[in-house]
Amino acid sequence: MKKITSIIALVAMALSFGAEAQNEITVNADKPGSVINKHIYGHFAEHLGHCIYDGMYVGESNTKIPHINGVRKDVIEALKKLKIPNLRWPGGCFADTYHWKDGIGPKKQRPSIVNAWWGGVTEDNSFGTHDFLNLCKELGTEPYLAGNVGSGTVKELSDWVQYVNHNGVSPMADLRKTNGQEKAWGVKFWGVGNEAWGCGGNMRPEYYANIYRQYATFMTDWDNGSKLFRIASGANSKDYNWTEVLMRDIPHHMLEGIALHHYSVINWDKKGPAVGFTEAQYFKTMQEALFMDELIQKHTAIMDKYDPKKKVALVVDEWGGWYEVEPNTNPGFLFQQNTMRDAVLAGATLNIFHKHSERVRMANLAQIVNVLQSVVLTSGEKMLLTPTYHVMEMYNVHQDATNLPIEIKTNDYSFEDKKLPAVSASASKDKAGLVHISLTNIDIRNAQEISINLQGLTAKTVTGRVLTASSVQDHNTFDQPNKVTPTEFKGATLSGNVLKVKLPATSVVVLEVK
């Protein structure tokens, strides 16, 4: 009898779920918020493993792989489709060992460097400042140069700024012209060191704040047409004291942005596999990804205390999933596969950035090719686009659009005795008046029925795309490069100003409402 009663209860529950949406979202189109800065969609290219060499850069004498000045054409075309707004280089930890003058001039005369941080390999410096900045020009993206504070000097960084930004007569401008670049590139974004609390010098925040003030003083704007955007080496995840000290001790006229680094890591000692992970490992990864919301709220609260007008940007210039390297690969190269887990991680994280777009005005996914949560993987002449690539491409409709605040009530994704919100969402309105709504479902078993109320919006049509797969483990390989790709989404219906959406398990959807 008890068994029959339980079955009846389950059937009744299923019918009730079918009768009405399980989740409710209100999009406040009549209460527009701040602009979602396109620079939230930035990327990161470090001299690490096969990100630069044999990833992006294959050399100018390569005859097997089509390239433009040594950079793969297929990678260039893929990145153009992403509309990447900025690209951070040369690190990361590598930045505080990199001496930029080693990477200019005739390539055969450049000294080599041992990459002590990542694999102990020797690099020939054939990819340097000119190569990177010309690549950014080809991509139509703004360069973000990370300066060497840990092992460099004030003069070295000051000279680099002059070399790339000064169009007049000066020692560094003359040197640039000697090396074949007549006109300055006009680089706006500059990192003043990287992870000064760790690989950038193991500094205390008070010491770094003083060092920052010194370096920033000598970073002259020159005549590049726009003020330098100097970014301080910010906190490691929940080190709120670091943010407190920097906001307190650095005059804000010397500070345009402060960084934040947070990776979705299961355990730093045992990170778990990129493929073949357990549900417990998946749940922990999602927990760490969604923790980004709390991190931003708490760091923002500190920044608001010293900067209530929000003039200083929070720059999340390293984020993403971090797992064990793929079997039989160099542990120092950080090469990992990219599954549907990474796709929903990216979607949920971008939704969080949109929510906090008033303060978060720049971010950089780590990293762009062959390293960590990359958008592109290469192997010899082959190249593939990862699930994360597809999410970044689907979401780029939000770049420079106006954030539409949302209210959300969501079911839980439950595992054992723990719970997380299953659905995350964000919405924006672009300059053409189109409204885009992005949705993620991190629940690996259950689809989510959602009722979306469109307040202040007269909608006539809805279209969309979805990224999902039969398993959260699914990923693209060089033998099956299109196993996980976006398809047309047919699970949305519009009635008046209410959208009914059925979001598949483990999926990312972007809707366009006209």
Query: Could you give the residue numbers annotated as active site?
Result: 195, 318
Length of the chain: 514
Among residues 489, 494, 509, 502, the alpha carbon closest in space to that of 454 is found at 494
Q: Which two tokens stand for residue 336?
A: 């990992």
Q: Enumerate residues 6+ apart whose C-beta is below 8 A from 45.
A: 51, 52, 56, 87, 88, 89, 90, 132, 367, 368, 369
Among residues 348, 355, 359, 441, the alpha carbon closest in space to that of 406 is found at 355
Q: How far apart are CA 220 and CA 187, in angstroms?
A: 12
Q: Residues 113, 173: contact at Cβ < 8 Å?
A: no
**Which residue type sits at 315?**
V
Q: Residues 386, 374: contact at Cβ < 8 Å?
A: yes
Q: Which residues pair with 37 in a beta bridge?
A: none
**Which residue type sits at 171?**
P
Q: Distances from the Cα of 12 to the Cαs of 6, 459, 461, in angstroms?
A: 10, 33, 33
DSSP calls for 469-508: -SSTT-B--SSSTTSS--EE---EEEETTEEEEEEPSSEE
Q: Which two tokens stand for residue 46?
A: 């470090």
Q: Enumerate residues 6+ apart whose C-beta is below 8 A from 288.
A: 262, 263, 264, 265, 266
Q: Which two tokens stand for residue 200?
A: 């950038």
Q: Enumerate residues 6+ apart whose C-beta is below 8 A from 481.
A: 382, 384, 385
Q: What is the phi-psi region of residue 477: left when phi exceeds 0, alpha when psi lies from -120 to 50, beta otherwise? A: beta
DSSP state of 92: S
Among residues 215, 214, 212, 190, the alpha carbon closest in space to that of 203 is found at 212
Q: Which two tokens stand for residue 403?
A: 């954030």
Q: Which two tokens stand for residue 100?
A: 């930029």
Q: Distances from the Cα of 285 to the Cαs of 53, 322, 365, 425, 498, in angstroms?
A: 29, 9, 16, 18, 33
DSSP SS3 for 260: strand
**Which residue type sits at 347?**
G
Give me the residue label for tokens 């355990």: 267
Q: Residues 313, 362: contact at Cβ < 8 Å?
A: yes
